[in-house]
Structure 1
């Protein structure tokens, strides 16, 4: 069931594994964080499910709101820490890659980076593409902002940035949001992302260009990747989005006209299972209503 469908909860099947619906699809756009990884490790069962889908002739593109360029995300996923098997996906696309394109398009303008130093690779990649350094300056000298997250996500909250955001708004600067996620789970912890800062900037009238899910550009780019993988033929009706974020993965799939397999033991787990108990059906319906979309199917986690 997709966006705009009936609100009858009983019509959304709860599947045991991807095998239950795999025959209906030729391609998958799969979220990374929350479905395949938790920031500390990968989920072997999820990787195996994607591997088996590919073995049947399907194509898999990972689509992530990570604020780093594609190649950096790939190295992180395949590295020793996370150890995602290379044979469980064909390609990947990150929100950071789209942000990189925007930075390159603004060659000659000065940028203020609002985010942690670990995201500096975005600017190094832009400099390599341009063959010239990126002008990185403080907020008072900037022509635009790139937000990749909080400086210290472990000890700060988005409200800590309100005074700075007001000053940026006074200068009428556009903010590129390189990661639209509001929160993300790292193990069992939830931390704020760039989307939480961008949301507050937009709330005071700041101009925000949001890159990544649920917005159209990342889905258009991901479908183009699938076309290249599949010889120019992609049927959206046979393309499945998989994700755990109602306001990114589910909403984005609905807007793009794609079916979605919604993972309930992801970022919304505490909300959907209050006190660690059984699934709260009312909370689930509320989540769908707020996202403005309904999934094709539900699963606790991604299994084959």
Structure 2
């Protein structure tokens, strides 16, 4: 049983209830909180699992940074309906509860540290302690900035307690601490395609060979053994559909990422595998089909 998901869901229910009470006059979001709030939990879980699969080649376990990346995309999406600075600074006081719940889930799953009790200690530091810091904060620093900085500092310290030290977790924590100071400028739906494009290229170039699949076919591993004139055919198709592709930034960047693979390597680098199904794909594929779906949805 995945206690991580269960306890995080409980924490998110508390956060959603608090948000709904604070949004009675639609000062935070014009959209119903019954719709906005559950999406946050969904993006956290999906982001966590995709991060696990891409960088650790497993669907098991959970990844805090993947959850935070998913959470960031969630903020970009809801920025259309919500006052994001007000939204983020409101949930900053409830997020410690969510983090405490997540660490209890880690403890129950027996994951995260070689000594299970470290998960509880980290939860106490990221939960009640940070809440007290926010509660008695007398500075002009936004609560969400304080929250992310303290969570990242605790995460860096906790990394040294893990049985497998990973320098990437330190680097990502530092990046989050820097970026949170510019969150008002970064939260924008328009930046999502570029973030996905960079994440896709990073994954393709830094994953180990045993974690990737060389796809000589088309998207989602269709006709994967098709190799003849591969580069020419895909370059020709890209040029033919270019006027259509240019209508969507998501489709354009996704197509460019895969075209780069085709021209340079002669194959697409796929790294997301669906268990029990014979399909492999990458974030660029998701961008292309996501862009097609949005174009169909809005009839553009």
Range into which the TM-score falls when normalised by the shorter chain: under 0.3
Structure with max Cα Rg: 2
* Structure of greater relative contact order (alpha carbons < 8 Å, 6+ residues apart): 1
TM-score normalized with structure 1 length: 0.25
> Higher strand fraction: Structure 1 or Structure 2?
1
